[in-house]
Chain A
């Protein structure tokens, strides 16, 4: 059986976990078994609806103290639950909380783990998982040698796949150790889609010349319903907040569409965005290295091209 660990924040299931269910369900089909999900804590969603993503059953440890994420507590409870349920493969989303919990769970289950998987495992000869390495510059295929296998799956690499069906929900009695971490402050940027979950991202670099010029980029993002990002020099100069910095040392993202405006495309920046499905580069320098990594390029002045693109998108949406 393939078990998917469901991550939640503020009692809402993370989108990355829905993708993990779709991945787990496809893997289960490949292995001739079924997929079940594990929810720690209480969430607002109707858990039977997880059947839509491919889970036939949902196990829930319905203890409210699990609604506040604590890596140590979550990994202890998850490992106990998995031992009780019994699973051959455990799938996590490769998001902030998944990365913090999955390796600890692997230790507790004596399981081999591959983090950051980019595709379904090959299971015709052993169990071989392909993951991105060298910050997206290569792939490695790793064979997991243990009886139980743990995988974390890269966000936006598989996609959410809807199916028919509802899941049965079963409550699981697992004792929950007390957390010894006290959350003293939470600082959330309200109303924005987290960059790692965004499917459309518009990003700006030094070519925009100053924070006062960000209006054209924000207009473009608004016309698309996209999130905004920036390059390292931009966040270092405080033109944009640090949480918008994508790149090797910032956030690594894999949206469906990444539009880079006035970003030359240094190797460190590419390491953060090279898993994007489609890359559009707008730059006035035809020699900018980013064009080599792009699917579509516009050589031109951002101050003319970007408003024209925004107008074209608005026109296209109005027509549709």
Chain B
């Protein structure tokens, strides 16, 4: 079985969010880059677990990014990917990214494509759904469990107020979230092996973006917390009713 895991480079969850060039660009100064947590903890680690059960599984990684994504790709290889493909396109338009990944996916004829639920920078949650349209494959999102049984996938996904489990034939595209797997740390053997694993660079083929970022803004600062004495809960209720008007 061939698995394609989509990897995105994102700022660390604790990174300071600031903007430059008249608030049109994310300020990368001093930012530590990580593999998008949903891509790493859930999709990649689940793919590795599937490979541990069935050694015939091969795991390819794909990222659509500039050369500065190579350290995080090497980390993903160290965790357990077999090969990586970097499409050299720095667009942050989801439609462009999805089309680049779809081209890689068509070429590789994968049985299973895994994405994270969303990236923690642009929070678009779009790539898996777009791939399903571009490849005309089933899409199940957001998944908390995934089992493979021969040519079938059993996927549990979150629905409002619960979960449902679905069965479908491969190929399928699954977006992964919490529950799927537990975070791992690469070991020394993995890190050494990752240095010589293939990392292929493919030139960008899609240029036409459907959206463009005009401006970033930080949310207005909270006017400051209003402290209420612990013995004055009637006052808190009054404020929630009359000032905040939420109850």
A 132-153 contacts with B by CB, 8 A: 132-146
Given A291-B225, A311-B233, CB of A143 within 8 Å of CB of B132: no
Interface residues of A (CB under 8 A from B): 9, 14, 69-72, 75, 95-96, 99-108, 111-116, 128, 130-146, 180-189, 192-194, 196-197, 199-200, 224, 242-243, 245, 248-250, 256-257, 267-268, 271, 274, 277-278, 280-281, 291-301, 304-305, 308-309, 311-313, 315-316
| Chain B residues bordering chain A, tally (CB within 8 A) | 82
Say yes or no: is B231 at the interface (Cβ < 8 Å to chain A). yes
Q: Taking the nearest CB of chain B, how far is it from the CB of A277, in angstroms?
A: 6
Given A113-B94, A145-B210, A278-B244, CB of A296 within 8 Å of CB of B166: no
Say yes or no: is B110 at the interface (Cβ < 8 Å to chain A). no
Q: Taking the nearest CB of chain B, how far is it from the CB of A261, in angstroms?
A: 13
Which chain A positions have C-beta within 8 A of B162?
186-189, 243
The B interface is mostly helix, strand or loop, or mixed, namely mixed
Q: Is the CB of A298 within 8 A of B140?
A: no
30 examples of A-B residue contacts, CB within 8 angstroms: A71-B139, A75-B132, A96-B160, A99-B142, A100-B129, A102-B126, A107-B95, A107-B130, A112-B95, A115-B94, A134-B121, A137-B218, A145-B210, A181-B138, A182-B167, A184-B165, A185-B165, A186-B159, A189-B161, A243-B162, A248-B37, A257-B240, A291-B225, A292-B222, A293-B222, A297-B227, A305-B230, A309-B237, A312-B233, A316-B238
Q: Is the CB of A133 within 8 A of B121?
A: yes
B110-142 vs A, CB cutoff 8 Å, 1 = contact: the mask equals 000000000011111111111011101111111
Q: Is the CB of A72 within 8 A of B210?
A: no
Interface residues of B (CB under 8 A from A): 11, 13-14, 17, 19, 37-38, 41, 93-95, 98, 120-130, 132-134, 136-142, 154, 156-169, 175, 177-179, 209-219, 222, 225-231, 233-234, 236-241, 244, 246-247
Which 6 A-B residue pairs are closest in the complex by CB-CB distance? A300-B230, A112-B210, A188-B162, A103-B129, A104-B133, A107-B133
Q: Is the CB of B216 within 8 A of A72?
A: no
Q: Is the CB of A197 within 8 A of B178?
A: no
